[in-house]
Amino acid sequence: MHVAPEELQAAAVAKLAELEGVEMKPKKRVAIPVQEMPAQDPLERCKNMKEVALGYCAEQARLEAMRCLQCKNAPCVSGCPVAIRIPDFLKAAADGRFADAIAIIRENSLLPAVCGRVCPQESQCQLNCTVGKILKDVNKSVSIGRVERFVADLQRESETGQVIPEIKPESGNKVAVIGSGPASITVAADVRREGHAVTMFEAFHKPGGVLLYGIPEFRLPKAIVKNEIDTLRAMGVEVRTNFVIGRTRKLQDLIDKDGFDAIFVGTGAGLPKFMNIPGENLVGVFSANEYLTRSNLMKSYDTERAHTPMYSSLKVAVLGGGNVAMDAARTAVRLGADEVHLVYRRTEKEMPARVEEVAHAKEEGVIFHMLENAVRIIGDENDRVIAMECLRYELGEPDDSGRRRPVPIEGSEFMMQVDTVIVAIGNGSNPLISQTTEGLEINRWGNIVVDENGQSSIAGVYAGGDIVLGAATVILAMGEGRRAAAAINARLTG
């Protein structure tokens, strides 16, 4: 049931007053209720692109941080890919020292406002939280990400705003960063701080990577991403957009002709995978990437100001069960579809999407079809989608990923009437750079092979993020960027 943000705040104010002066023994801390995230009413938010989760108020942030038991072994820290000093920042937040809290987070993370929103916390820092273990429910762990988001937003929205890091004197070295997602943003900042000149090359007309073109506004406001890019620019990073490495200029030319001393490749995993079933070339079939890019980057939802054409859909089927599928389905709801069906061949338990995203999608009316999948898409005489033939599945033995394998049920074919199909079954790496760069080693999935420092098979060329890991997460991309930047800095100063 949706609770109004004012009610949540009032309850937090009252609880905090009740605890004033009370000695906070562990039992008392565990008894503090999990602070619910204030959110837009589902009936309202279906009609707008504004952020769904509204963020904690100060009282909620303090209360949530007070739930932390300050465990000596801090299992939460080992679950965070960049090892933020979680108990320390939570202690500062619990005391109301919010500036100290964000300073601690920023020691290890460059993008706390982003990670506080999109990190899959329930499978990372919050997975092994002692409070969650005591309460026997991972969803009752300390909401580390929500407190992180609160202190990051508070700093961004304060009068002083985001702090521009100090830059060391110019070193005379030049570094090229290819791509502008979280891995590249991290490298650009860490390398620039050491006084090296940094040029960022981005294929799209706006920088930000998936944070901009993939994750929708209602989950990650684009103003936050712009703020990070503005900080890079203020640090002196040159950002060149509409610049495709491998087409506009080859990677080797950056070294041989343009005099770059080191290169970081952070080109992500933007190549959509398809089902390879009949009818996938019909009008009305989209990759989730294209669908989301039209909406997020090209603002097709803003029909008054943007002139991006958008397919007008009434009944949409989204194929897949990850975050990308949830984002596509929830975008389709907001773009005005009457019905949005999410079709996944396993059960909800095996879905890779974040629990919160699944819950939000359901609240917004997305209809879930588990243990079903499309086998054929059917078009009319004009090759426009009119239906999808599906099969029902049951779960068999676990496969390589540890998830139980979906096994088709013979003779279970049925039809689903839809006019749009969005394929969201994963992304691979774009082969452009590897195909146009001699000597760049890739593995069988097309990902760039690197050593423990992020160095590729070509001296001075580093890589990280999804182009190395395959489609992964923002915080892992950031961690990879940190590692490669440290190696680049060592190379240039060493």
Residues lying near ligand SF4 in the complex (CB under 6 A): 68-71, 74-76, 80, 82, 84, 86-87, 90, 109, 115-116, 119, 121, 124-125, 129-131, 142, 144-145, 148, 475
Indicate whether 112 belongs to the interface with ligand FAD (CB under 6 A).
no
150 vs 54: CA distance, rounded Å = 10
Contact, 47 vs 74, CB < 8 A? no
124 binds, among ligand SF4, ligand FAD, none (CB under 5 to 8 A by kind): ligand SF4
34 vs 67: CA distance, rounded Å = 8
Indicate whether 292 belongs to the interface with ligand FAD (CB under 6 A).
yes
38 binds, among ligand SF4, ligand FAD, none (CB under 5 to 8 A by kind): none
b/e for 420-453, b at 16 or more Cβ within 10 A? Answer: bbbbbbbbbbbebbbebbeebebeeebbbebeee
Segments of 288-383 assigned E as strands: 315-319, 339-344, 367-370, 372-379
Q: Which is nearer to ligand SF4, 109 or 289 (CB)?
A: 109
Q: Which is nearer to ligand FAD, 390 or 450 (CB)?
A: 450
Indicate whether 246 belongs to the interface with ligand FAD (CB under 6 A).
yes
Look-up of token digits 């705003």:
161
Question: CB of 138: closest distance to ligand FAD in angstroms?
Answer: 17
Indicate whether 358 belongs to the interface with ligand FAD (CB under 6 A).
no
Question: CB of 323: closest distance to ligand FAD in angstroms?
Answer: 4
Per-residue tokens: 440: 């760049």
* Given 71, 83, 432, 486, the residue binding ligand FAD (CB under 6 A): 432
Indicate whether 319 belongs to the interface with ligand FAD (CB under 6 A).
no
Closest CA relative to residue 261, chosen from 340, 199, 326, 303: 199
145 binds, among ligand FAD, ligand SF4, none (CB under 5 to 8 A by kind): ligand SF4
Question: CB of 102: closest distance to ligand SF4 in angstroms?
Answer: 12
* Given 46, 244, 282, 310, the residue binding ligand FAD (CB under 6 A): 244
In which element (H, E) is residue 169 found?
A: none
Q: Which is nearer to ligand SF4, 32 or 366 (CB)?
A: 32
- The phi, psi pair for 341, rounded to 5°, reads -110, 125
Q: What is the pairing mode between strands 372-379 and 385-398? A: antiparallel
Indicate whether 37 belongs to the interface with ligand FAD (CB under 6 A).
no
378 vs 211: CA distance, rounded Å = 34
Question: CB of 355: closest distance to ligand FAD in angstroms?
Answer: 12
Indicate whether 458 belongs to the interface with ligand FAD (CB under 6 A).
no
Q: Which is nearer to ligand FAD, 91 or 219 (CB)?
A: 219
Question: CB of 346: closest distance to ligand SF4 in angstroms?
Answer: 25
**What one-character DSSP code corresponds to residue 442?**
B
Question: CB of 418: closest distance to ligand FAD in angstroms?
Answer: 21
Per-residue tokens: 263: 């290169």
Angle formed at CA 193 by CA 189 and CA 197, multiple of 5 degrees: 85
- The phi, psi pair for 41, rounded to 5°, reads -60, 130
Residues 160-199 as x/- pattern, contact with ligand FAD by CB under 6 A: ------------------xxxxxxx---------------
Q: What is the 3-state secondary structure (H, E, C) of 378-407?
A: EECCCCEEEEEEEEEEEEEEECCCCCEEEE
483 vs 192: CA distance, rounded Å = 15
184 binds, among ligand SF4, ligand FAD, none (CB under 5 to 8 A by kind): ligand FAD
Q: Number of helices and strands (H, E) in the chain?
A: 20, 16
Question: CB of 229: closest distance to ligand SF4 in angstroms?
Answer: 20
3-state secondary structure of 208: coil
DSSP 46-70: TT--S-SB----HHHHHHHHHT---
Angle formed at CA 473 by CA 324 and CA 445, multiple of 5 degrees: 85
* Given 433, 485, 487, 492, the residue binding ligand FAD (CB under 6 A): 433
473 binds, among ligand FAD, ligand SF4, none (CB under 5 to 8 A by kind): ligand FAD
Contact, 317 vs 388, CB < 8 A? yes
Question: CB of 197: closest distance to ligand SF4 in angstroms?
Answer: 29
125 binds, among ligand FAD, ligand SF4, none (CB under 5 to 8 A by kind): ligand SF4
Indicate whether 214 belongs to the interface with ligand FAD (CB under 6 A).
yes
- Cross-strand pairs, 422: 286, 318
- The phi, psi pair for 493, rounded to 5°, reads -95, -15
92 binds, among ligand FAD, ligand SF4, none (CB under 5 to 8 A by kind): none
3-state secondary structure of 221: coil
Q: Which is nearer to ligand FAD, 84 or 183 (CB)?
A: 183
Binding site for ligand FAD (CB under 6 A): 118-120, 178-184, 201-204, 209-210, 214-215, 244-246, 266-268, 270, 292, 323-324, 327, 430, 432-433, 465-467, 472-475, 477
